[in-house]
Amino acid sequence: MTSKLGKLLTEQRNPNSMKLDSASIRDILEIINREDHIIAGRIAEQMDDITQATELVDQAFQNNGRLIYVGAGTSGRLGVLDASEIPPTFNASPERVQGFIAGGDTALRTAVEGAEDFPDDGRKLMDDIGVTTNDVVMGIATSGVTPYVLGALERGRELGAATVFFTCTDRSHIDIKVDVLISVPVGPEVITGSTRMKSGTATKMVLNMITTTAMVKRGKVYENLMVDLKATNIKLEDRARRIVSTITSCSYEEATELLAQADNYVKVALVMYKSHAAAEQSRLYLDRFQGNVRQAIDELEKGKQ
């Protein structure tokens, strides 16, 4: 009898690290670094699928839906991490992107052995959180075989949600129906089976790409600055003034006055300055364009031509 799991790409031995245990500290670091160089190129090869997945997420956000990450072990932790960074970075509701890990929050710090082995637990999760047709369920399993994740994806699909599966296994070995399959085969790990390494890095990069892009398209960024910000403490007040000053080229003092008129909302201050509109009109146009600063400014400027 042979092991099916032993055939997975993530379980193969890396010929470039066979003598890892006898290498010097410098040599070990260089081996890891050389292997990490592979990751960005592998991701670039999957850009069509990543684009399609991001379009599904953007559509979900337009319909007030959610992006729901489901994973186990490192994959689950990275999903929870990406979800937890969205509210402070983009002033988005914590409901918008949610991360779930097999074994629950305890598994974020301590391995819950066997938690990933039950597909019915993944299916139950989808029911418990009320997945709908407006949501995107994204399963993360670098090995491609995690039962908890596969169960969640199957149930999410049954409930009408869009489904995305991220794996670091070759797509020819994946047998599950999803709307988008993102396969980033980064090759055997430096330490055999340790998917917290290259596979984990690839996961972090792709999740970050998807949510950042979706938030940019939701108007959370103007140019390349985080503008969906209300100054509610000293640090944020200073950041808000610097953002307004940078974008408008006005002085720090002028930015302070603009923000005072805008009730400390950066977006409102920017629309006011760029379009010469009053604060209330600027708010109305931002609401009309779902908070998109550029669209609000363009429309106000058209109306004055």
Residues with catalytic roles: 85, 116
Beta bridge partners of 69: 99, 138
Q: Check residue 204 and report its DSSP letter.
A: H
Report the SS3 class of residue 305: coil
Beta bridge partners of 181: 165
Query: What is the per-residue burial (b if ≥16 Cβ within 10 Å, else e) of 212-244?
Result: bbbbebbbbbbeebbbbbbbeeeeebebbbebb
Report the SS3 class of residue 45: coil
What are the structure tokens assigned to 225, written together? 């600055």
Q: Specify whether the CB–CB gap between 164 and 178 falls below 8 A.
A: yes
What are the structure tokens assigned to 229, written together? 């910000």
* Consecutive H or E run containing 154: helix 147-158
- Neighbouring CB atoms inside 10 A of 59's CB total 14
Burial degree of 204 (CB within 10 A; 0-12, 13-18, 19+): middle
Report the candidate in 53, 101, 48, 96 with the shortest Cα–Cα distance to residue 207: 53
Q: Give residue for tokens 């992107």.
A: 97
Report the candidate in 163, 159, 156, 155 with the shortest Cα–Cα distance to residue 179: 163
Looking at residue 24, its amino acid is S
What's the rounded Cα separation, in Å, for the pair 189 and 197? 7
Q: Check residue 23 and report its DSSP letter.
A: S
Q: At what angle do helices 266-275 and 293-303 cross, to 10 degrees?
A: 30
